Structure 1
Amino acid sequence: MSAIAVKHKPPIVTTLGFIKAVQAWKHLRSEIASSVAGGINNIKSAMLDESKFDVHLKLWALRIPRELCKVATRILNGYLLDRARIKPITEDPSCEKNRYMILSEKVQNVDLSDIPNPKIDELKGLCKIEVVPYSLTLGYSYWGADHVLKQILPPGLEVPSSFETIVKYSIGVTLDFLFELFFPPPHNCHIAHLNIADELIPFKDVIAKVIYDKNHPRIKTVVNKVGTITNEFRVPKFEILAGKDDMVTEVKQYGATFKLDYSLVYWNSRLEHEHIRLVSQFQAGETVCDMFAGIGPFAIPAAQKGCLVYANDLNPDSIRYLKINAEINKCLLVRVIQNLIFPFSNPVSNAAHRVNGKTKSDDIRLAGELEEVPCNNLSNPEGIEGSPINADASVAAVKRRPESCQEAKSIKGGTNKRMRGSESFNTKPWEHVDHVIMNLPASALQFLDAFRGLIQRRYWKGPLPWIHCYCFVRSNETKESIISEAESALNASIRDPIFHRVRDVAPNKAMFCLSFRLPEDSCSNEDITNSVLHSADIKS
């Protein structure tokens, strides 16, 4: 068995060497922090003196009639000022008929001896050459964030030398100093998210101000993640470092618009390509179950493609924004399941647990409600017909609205050109599902036991579903060990699994997607209906 290749720095050969390296790194960070501690109180005022960034250039310029500027530009190619965002041709303040052609810094002499004679002769053939001095000041507003940060942070601290585009207007730097810029115009995404390393914490305010200054008005809020993610909804805590306190924004991906409150729900723009990759495997008319749907990065594009999507999430705020996003994108094929979870591995216990409507937490309703998104404007939900569990029993039945997709599409404002909204989905979810998405890499493998005996062959139609389970894999783990963990949860053997590397999340940790068809051995050939109802009667 070979370990999964995870991109990381060259390994340290010995344990002793590793310990020494860790100690040296901690010592360096401690020294850096102590060396700047004394001046922390003056960081904002001293380090952001914008006048300190002024660079004064003493240059030469040629006064040329404006109608000859195009020809003169060709002649002086390579000898005009070449600075980003600075035009080498500007107006002559003394005469509107003339223009100044600003020469490069390498032209030092007023006699233009730094320019080849043939070029000077050609210019003289056009007009009389007049050389004038020209002063140019490059101030704080001219310099980019990387240049400014290099100037203000102490030596020894790693600062970004360039910005890497991750997604449209999303930029990241290093694992220690990660900057994500969410700004897909023309939408209202305006949040810059910083993960600032410990040694940079004393400078977090000045870093945020620079990021804000260099990206405003596109960026209106700069936040920093505080601590580690510990809540059950996997939503980080943020502190606002610059700009206004507004965490509600919009992001656009693959033609879909996602509205979200960044402080209440999870979102990661760097997963855009993975969303596209997985959804591209779905076909119009298929049924998809998104177990950890969030605000809909998989569910919305799948519905736009013409799939019927059952979407669930534990976070009520994610459910709220999922419904909003389905309405914004006019997705009629999204069915939202609120708080429908399966904490037990035994299918009879699961079903009985759902029948009784009891949960581990009083805030979660296992019985859940299956409903269409608000954009359908449908009301008066009725009980599902054809359920394996007797509808006459005293059971908290799962509910859905009876209208078909064809009927829903006829509602004013409910069309979507990108999906086949006219298709009717008559198959019930206990009869057939094509794909199940489990995008919770920290613990999705532990949820696979929910599939033990969940599918009853008596009701199921067609092939078993594809399971797409996301997980984190460390450098000391193997594909075989991950598959073994999945098989243990399923209590069945997996055939022909597919491993797809999504992205590196740390030097020795990567995110993978494990795709496989649900094993036949995980299905139940028994009718558990009577067992469930009998169990419910006993407990009641």
Structure 2
Amino acid sequence: MKCLKKYLLKLEKSKPVRTAADDADKKEILLNPILVKSFEVIKKELGEVIGKDDTTFGYTQITLGYENWKAEDILKAVLPANQEGAQSFSIVGHILHLNLREHLLPYKTLIGEVYLDKVPNISMVVNKVNTIDSTYRNFQMEILGGTGDTLVTVKENGCSFTMDFARVYWNPRLSTEHSRVVGKLQHGDVLYDVMAGVGPFAVPAGRKKCYVLANDLNPDSFDALVKNCTKNKVVERVKCFNMDGHDFIQTTLKADLIQRWKDPYFVGGVHITMNLPALAVTFLSSFQGLMSGVQEVSQDVELPVVHVYMFTKETADDVAIGQVAENLGYLSKPSEAAGGAVRATRSGATLLNMAPKAPGKEEIC
């Protein structure tokens, strides 16, 4: 009965409505004893049903086992008091990825076994054991449970991505941000993806019939990027590069952008994505004087929209704006961030605060 739905006893591997043990023609409805202390609690929900002779209310004992509890309930029961922090995880393909804090490391094997048992469609549980490598954006991991390889396939924004999760960077929590940026692109726009990874910006942009130059320094990411472009049938619109980001900006991006600006028939917009939060803001220095000495480009061209990501321990907008202004050469040191350089930079900037990555660390675009 729908009126009792909120009172049902909901447990893993257990059905709240079952055939009565003493009469195969009757049904038993198991109610949550925390919510229903007496029959009086649900009288108003049952209404006229109460008066029927075949409706009874009573108590019974049921035996619950390991299979009846969710992973978070089990971990809360078996870990020492106040040892929270094991409930947050990401799933990438068949891999469940944890980032356990130090106080939980003595229990890591137990935690891995519980998640392997309880979370459907996974065959491996891993834990990150160091920070993300700033050069190649990958991290060392240890297997807490399960077996197999780390080659995964995931779907996002209508595209399929295959990668070796142990050798590249992939964060499923960024899917909304990928959608937001790609949603700004129109047919015929140009996207320069300076730190493209395995293609979460580049591939769906290619699907929208944008022209994309996608670059990543990590050879494993580059290899996956090329294969993902082929898999998603965007090879004619996405060109892939395996270069340092500074070199990519100062050579490939510059040359292509000049050609776009010189083309009288080009009417699309230009976007640049730089998603390497630990370092991306420092790559803005490569734009300083990038077009100095270029004579054949009109002064009234539409400038690109740059999406640059960074980590900051401060939530004040001026801190992020100050980092941008400093790396664009508008000020010599962050302490000048309250001055006119920040006001000038802010006039052309929009800040978005991404989901917190860790206590005291925000990601800003």
> 2:258 — aligned with what?
430
Confirm whether residue 333 of structure 1 aligns to residue 333 of structure 2.
no
C-alpha distance in structure 2 between counterparts of 1:113 and 1:435, whole Å: 63
The count of residues paired between Structure 1 and Structure 2 equals 335
1:142 aligns with 2:71: no
1:263 aligns with 2:166: yes
8 Å contact kept, 1:254–1:276? yes
**Unaligned ranges ≥5, structure 1:** 1-72, 161-172, 183-188, 352-367, 371-386, 389-427, 514-540
- In the alignment, which residue of structure 2 is the partner of 1:308? 211
> Residue 449 of structure 1: which of 285, 310, 331 is its match?
285
- Once the two structures are superposed, residues 421-480 of structure 1 have per-residue CA deviations (whole angstroms, 9 ceiling, x without a partner) of xxxxxxx54312712211112112222222233335334464232222222223176245
Which one has a larger percent strand, Structure 1 or Structure 2?
1
Matched, 1:122 2:44: no
Once the two structures are superposed, residues 111-153 of structure 1 have per-residue CA deviations (whole angstroms, 9 ceiling, x without a partner) of: x9998698686321xx5x7899855222101101111011111
Pair 1:181-2:110 in alignment:
no
SS at match of 1:260: strand
What residue in structure 2 maps to residue 90 of structure 1? 18
Superposed CA RMSD in Å reads: 3.7
Q: Percent of aligned positions with the same letter in both sequences?
A: 34
Within the candidate set 176, 181, 185, 1:282 is matched to 185
**Matches of residues 506-517 of structure 1 in structure 2 within 5 Å?**
506-513=358-365
Deviation at 1:236, TM superposition (A): 0.6
Q: Does 1:214 align with 2:127?
A: no
Amino acid at match of 2:114: V
Letter in 2 for 1:91: T
Q: Secondary structure at the match of 2:308?
A: strand
The residue type equivalent to 1:497 in the other structure is: A
Q: Which residue of 1 aligns with 2:336?
A: none
Counterpart amino acid of 2:242?
A: Q
**Aligned partners of 2:98 and 2:200: how far apart in 1?**
22
Normalising by the residue count of structure 1, what TM-score does the alignment of the two structures yield?
A: 0.55
Task: Find out whether 1:195 has 2:99 as its counterpart.
Answer: yes
- Deviation, 1:79, is 11
Provide the rounded CA distance (Å) in 2 between the counterparts of 1:451 and 1:278.
21
What SS class does the counterpart of residue 280 from structure 1 fall into?
Answer: helix
- In structure 2, the residue matched to 1:473 is 312
Residue equivalent to 2:223: 320
Counterpart-to-counterpart distance in 1, 2:32 and 2:288: 73
Larger relative helix fraction: 2
Contact 1:79 1:104 in 2 (8 A): no
Q: Judge conservation of contact 1:208–1:242 (CA < 8 Å) in 2.
A: yes
- Report the Cα distance in structure 1 between the residues aligned to 2:37 and 2:364, rounded to whole angstroms: 58
| Higher mean displacement: 264-273 or 129-138 | 129-138
1:254 pairs, out of 157, 165, 170, with: 157
Check conservation: 2:215, 2:248, Cα contact below 8 A. no
Alpha carbons 2:313, 2:362 under 8 Å: kept: yes
TM-score calculated relative to the size of structure 2: 0.78
Q: Among 301, 309, 323, which residue is 1:482 paired with?
A: 323
Note if contact 2:96-2:124 (Cα within 8 Å) is conserved in structure 1.
yes
Match of residue 463 from structure 1? 302
Q: Which has the larger radius of gyration?
A: 1
Structure 2: distance between partners of 1:289 and 1:344: 10
SS of the aligned residue for 2:356 comes to: strand
What CA distance in whole angstroms lies between the structure 2 residues aligned with 1:439 and 1:105? 47
Q: Tell me by how many angstroms 1:101 deviates.
A: 1.7
Q: Which amino acid aligns with 2:83?
A: L
2: CA distance between counterparts of 1:84 and 1:259? 35
- Provide Cα deviations, 1:319-361, integer angstroms capped at 9, x if missing partner: 111111112211131111222554699x7xxx7xxxxxxxxxx
Distance in 1 separating the partners of 2:356 and 2:67: 35
* Deviations 1:193-230 (CA, angstroms, capped at 9, x unpaired): 111111110000001111111113x1111000112334
SS of 1:478's partner is: helix
The equivalent residue for 2:80 is 154
Encode CA deviations 1:42-88: one digit per residue, 9 max, x unaligned. xxxxxxxxxxxxxxxxxxxxxxxxxxxxxxx58x9589853345434
Task: Assess if the C-alpha contact under 8 Å between 2:310 and 2:364 holds in 1.
Answer: yes
